[in-house]
A = this chain, B = another copy of it.
Amino acid sequence: MLSKAQIKYIQSLQHKKYRQKFGQFIAEGDKIVQELLADRRSVQAVYATREWLLDHRALAESAAGIDIQEIAPPVLKQLSSLSTPHQALALVNIPPPSEPVLQGHVTLVLETIQDPGNLGTIIRIADWFGIRQIICSPDCVDAWNAKTIQSTMGSAMRVPVIVKDIPGLLTANEHIPAYAATLHGENIVQTPKITEGLILIGNESRGLSEAVLKLCHHHITIPRIGQAESLNAAVATGIICGRLLL
């Protein structure tokens, strides 16, 4: 059974401040907890309903050193940040920060992405296309937010997300080609396939800032045939990866 202090601790991890302080986050969702358990290295505890544990006992028991706790659905609801909580929840260590390796790789660079679902979906896209790392501006939504983790569908631990000042990064790496996604640039159909470079995606409503745009070598655009004002940021990232990396 969880103590009041444990419940309070887990709830505190709904806030970025405490995730940073304690270096842990909460992953919610049956499939994500399974994936994390299969991967194992970072999971410290699993809190799940009796039902879930019956279905996944072997997996949970094979995970040596992990604290497995059966909890009642009302307690799960208390711990969850979601309006419809899942059957299982894991307490996971945030991996130590790493330094980006830009040379010879394609890197996604995100400026002021605000929606946790978009960030999670972009992490999943990166994992699909074999992108080694994502760099986020300091004002992006936190990568260890429960909704972000949920949208990654298990890719969160495979693609490091590194927080950096974007203009500083571009200035320090001006020999690495930087491709800015904009509404009025070169048609992406004309852009040759790349094996090294930064692909920059901006905020959901405002796009990339002027400060970032002027530091990029290429301004690229997904041509619009119809009338939509814009594309969802994650969808735009997918389309650009589908043209530049395949």
Footprint of B on A, CB under 8 Å? 83, 117, 121, 124-131, 151, 153-155, 158, 187-189, 222-232, 234-243, 245-246
Contact = CB atoms under 8 A, between A and B. Distances in A.
A140 to B, nearest CB: 18
Nearest to A246: B189
Given A124-B228, A235-B235, 12 more contacts: A121-B235, A126-B226, A128-B226, A130-B227, A155-B228, A188-B242, A189-B246, A232-B234, A232-B238, A239-B239, A240-B242, A242-B243
A131 B107 CA distance: 31
Nearest to A158: B227
A231 B189 contact: no
Contacts of A125: 228, 231-232, 235
B230 A127 contact: no
| 7 nearest A-B pairs in the assembled complex, by CB-CB distance | A130-B225, A130-B226, A239-B242, A127-B228, A235-B238, A128-B228, A238-B239
This protein's copies in its complex: 2
A64 B226 CA distance: 28
Nearest to A226: B130
Contact of A129 (B130, B187, B225): B225
A187 B246 CA distance: 9
Nearest to A224: B128
Contacts of A243: 242-243, 246
A243 to B, nearest CB: 6
Contacts of A126: 226
A181 B187 CA distance: 25
A231 B238 contact: yes
Nearest to A225: B130
Nearest to A159: B226
13 contacts: A125-B228, A125-B235, A126-B226, A128-B225, A128-B230, A130-B226, A151-B232, A155-B228, A158-B228, A222-B242, A234-B234, A238-B238, A239-B239
A226 B127 contact: yes
A154 B117 CA distance: 20
Contacts of A241: 239
A192 to B, nearest CB: 14
